[in-house]
Structure 1
Amino acid sequence: FNLLHAFLIAMLLSISLSLLTGLQLLAEAVQSSTYNHLGAAQNAVDGNSESNYMLGSCTHTAGDDPWWRVDLREVHKVTRVSITNRGDCCEERIVGAQIRIGNSLENNGNSNDLVTAIGFILSGGTKTFDFKPVKGRYVNIFLPGTNKYLTLCEVEDEGRMTHDCVTLTYAPTSEINVAPNGRATQSSVNRGSTACLSLAQNAIDGNRQYDLLKGSCTQTDTESNPWWRVDLMKTYTIQLNVVVIHIGDSLESEGRTNPVCVKVSFIPAGGTGTFRCGGALQGCYVTLALPGENRTLSLCEVEVFGLPTE
């Protein structure tokens, strides 16, 4: 695993933009056209991330230059958009769509700031886009071109509400990555020529560079059951995370007896995996363990988002 990314905020679409737990259902969505009675715009903010269009929780447009827009009702500083592609067919249709955010309804909102363009997303897969805060009331998903269809199954965004000069955090979890303030350790360090480039602290240095030779990744020696652990220095409530991930307050067996958040499967080279725990877990230690013989654990950035537990 070249890059493991521990996040703690929920997501999902044929598009998924993360609105807060109550605001998501209050947001008003519209779109350029509607294909049939199953494809209403509001389906993308109904709190249901089902990606099978036939089950009635996705949107579906018809016609050229399709777009979908959500009105957040107030100006927000948006920092993250998560997209989960339609799962029952047509996964290639999302390619080329644009995420635009702003306060203008000129051109139906499709002239607002371009945040990013969307590439290929696996059928039913999720992709998260992180960016510097962009202020806006309207979030558009715009797919320019002829004979295009836009289908979104849930849209979620993350950010902060802005009222004049006062900024109020509205997200259900802190947006601050608490891992860089911690202390990292691991079962061993690669004994080869890259040993000095493979230290445990590299995984929480704030740098997502995934080339080991550039000095921002960890790497253990090849051994049985390698592990990496960060001590967050205080107890946090952690909702989402990233091998086997353990979270808790115990150092028994190097933290591997703490509750399991999730077991990680495949992550592409240089890719980022985001994983959901079964529920919120509390702890000051996050341990990533890789069971098995002759294994090497290498991490290029681990981010842990949570709230301090009183």
Structure 2
Amino acid sequence: MVVANIALGKPTFNSSCLDVNRFGSARAVDGNDSSSIFVSGFDDPRPWLSIDLGELMTISKVVYKNNKKCCGDSVAWAEIRVGGAALDAATHGQVLMNELVHQMTGPSRTGEEVTVLLDPPVLGRYVTMQNFHRDPSVNLLQVAELEVEGAPAGVWMQPAE
């Protein structure tokens, strides 16, 4: 089975949002990485974005695409997690329960793409990105796109080309 961006159009949840009409979390999974972005709220000390894939999936790759226009360094020391612990407005305390699959070692850059290859693949229904910038005055989580490659759990995967 060829894998593709299984996050496309899936439900999203977030800890805060700068402006839901202009920067809502659904923009992180809309397939548009050039003019549509999610941006967290200003007063959120550890902003996160979570994608519900709808079922348990075998995940082989996660790609984070940063804002292409400005302010890329506001995303720093961010973590990406995959797992089965639900993460939405009611269960936000569970963010650390899912497996850590990537941790940035410093600030990101405007337009940067971070590809996280999971070998072996990781089982999970929820993919979460959380920002841990050390300067609270610029701790905005910006996501132009968060892409996930995988297949339903138990299905053999051939990497997408």
TM-score when normalising by structure 1: 0.44
Are 1:149 and 2:140 an aligned pair? Answer: yes
Residue pair 1:110, 1:140 contacting (<8 A) in 2 also: no
Are 1:43 and 2:27 an aligned pair? Answer: yes
In structure 2, the partner of 1:272 is none
Are 1:117 and 2:103 an aligned pair? Answer: yes
Residue pair 2:76, 2:132 contacting (<8 A) in 1 also: no
In structure 2, the partner of 1:74 is 55
Q: Counterpart of 1:76 in 2: which secondary structure? A: strand
In structure 1, the partner of 2:40 is 61
**What amino acid is aligned across from residue 114 of structure 1 in structure 2?**
L
Q: Counterpart of 2:26 in 1: which secondary structure? A: helix
Greater relative CO (CA pairs within 8 A, separation 6+): 2
In the TM superposition, residue 44 of structure 1 has moved relative to its aligned partner by 0.5
In the TM superposition, residue 80 of structure 1 has moved relative to its aligned partner by 0.8
Residue pair 1:84, 1:121 contacting (<8 A) in 2 also: no
- Kindly name which structure, 1 or 2, has the bigger radius of gyration based on alpha carbons: 1
In the TM superposition, residue 136 of structure 1 has moved relative to its aligned partner by 0.5
Q: For 2:114 and 2:132, how far apart are their aligned partners in 1?
A: 20
The answer for unaligned runs of 5 or more in structure 2 is none
Report 1:77-92 matches (<5 A): 77-92=58-73
Q: For 1:77 and 1:140, how far apart are their aligned partners in 2?
A: 15
**What amino acid is aligned across from residue 39 of structure 1 in structure 2?**
F
Equivalent residue in structure 2 for 1:95, among 59, 66, 76? 76
Q: For 1:65 and 1:90, how far apart are their aligned partners in 2?
A: 17
Q: For 2:17 and 2:75, how far apart are their aligned partners in 1?
A: 16
Residue pair 2:56, 2:123 contacting (<8 A) in 1 also: yes
In structure 2, the partner of 1:159 is 150
In the TM superposition, residue 144 of structure 1 has moved relative to its aligned partner by 3.0
In the TM superposition, residue 137 of structure 1 has moved relative to its aligned partner by 0.4
Equivalent residue in structure 1 for 2:11, among 7, 28, 43? 28
More strand by share: 2
Q: How many residue pairs get matched?
A: 146
Residue pair 1:94, 1:118 contacting (<8 A) in 2 also: no
Q: Matched residues, percent identical?
A: 25
Q: For 1:168 and 1:38, how far apart are their aligned partners in 2?
A: 38
In structure 2, the partner of 1:130 is 117
The answer for unaligned runs of 5 or more in structure 1 is 1-8, 10-17, 176-304
Q: For 1:19 and 1:68, how far apart are their aligned partners in 2?
A: 17
